[in-house]
Amino acid sequence: MKNLAIFISGSGSNMKTILENIKEGRIKGVNPALVLSSTSKARGLEYAEDSGLKTAVFNYKNLSEDEISNGLISLLEESEIDFIILAGFIKILPPALVKKYKNRILNIHPSLIPKFCGKGFYGLKVHEEVIKAGEKESGATVHYVDEGVDTGDIILQRTCPVYPDDTAEVLQKRVLKIEHEIYSEAIQMVISGEN
């Protein structure tokens, strides 16, 4: 059994789907051992608490890089975490942490990496740029996290169409549906050693 830590900052819809899939046996061999939020205001936190999971709030504010790194690592070690699942976690992970958990940190991004990713590409902005560029398709990508932003090896990617009258909000919803499908699939692939 591998222990997962799911990191969130917002609504946590990816987290929710992953938790449901674990519960229903659609992701096997994992235990959701910790949900960590960068803010106490994350809506997903309440869901995790109500589900009886162990939760933690870790606020980066006024902390040095070393303090962030040591603080996060001790929380992860306390729960004997094997894999970190970033699910809408808005903060950048410190390099020491990324190094320690190399090939054991996954992230999901709402575009077809290497397009529309990197610093500043989050939230609606991603979809606004896709539409502005006149793209005919977009999608989502699950990838390993390395020291860069959205630069780690790709685990799974799936596309969806972009329609001429799409608004960023409409496209965001279409992409989010794909995210919910592929994140659980990618976790299962990694856990079963298919990747």
Q: Does the protein bind ligand GRF through residue 127 (CB under 6 A)?
A: no
138 Cβ contact list (under 8 Å, min separation 6): 110, 111, 112, 116, 127, 130, 159, 160, 162, 171, 174, 175
13 binds ligand GRF (CB under 6 A): yes
Shortest distance in whole angstroms from residue 126 CB to ligand GRF: 8
Could you tell me if 30 and 5 are in contact, meaning their C-beta atoms sit under 8 angstroms apart?
no
Structure tokens at 23: 């519960």
- Window 15-44: contact mask with ligand GRF (x via CB under 6 A): x-----------------------------
Stretch 138-177 residues interacting with ligand GRF (CB under 6 A):
176
**109 in catalytic set:** yes
- Looking at 50-165, which runs of residues are DSSP E strands? 55-57, 83-86, 105-109, 137-144, 154-161
Sign of CA dihedral 138, 47, 54, 20: negative
Residues 6+ apart with CB under 8 A from 90: 9, 10, 38, 122
Select from 6, 12, 36, 38 the one that contacts ligand GRF (CB under 6 A).
12
Residue 32 or residue 110: which is nearer to ligand GRF going by CB?
Answer: 110
If one asks whether residue 131 binds ligand GRF (CB under 6 A), the answer comes out as no
Contact 35, 44 (CB under 8 A): yes
Q: What sign does the CA torsion over 91, 94, 95, 96 have?
A: negative
Single out the segment in contact with ligand GRF by CB under 6 A; choices: 32-40, 47-55, 102-110, 145-153.
Answer: 102-110
Which range of residues in 25-33, 62-70, 108-116, 145-153 is near ligand GRF by CB under 6 A? 108-116
109, 127, 143, 180: the catalytic one is 109
- CB-nearest residue to ligand GRF: 88
Residues that bind ligand GRF (CB under 6 A): 8, 10-15, 87-88, 108-110, 176, 179
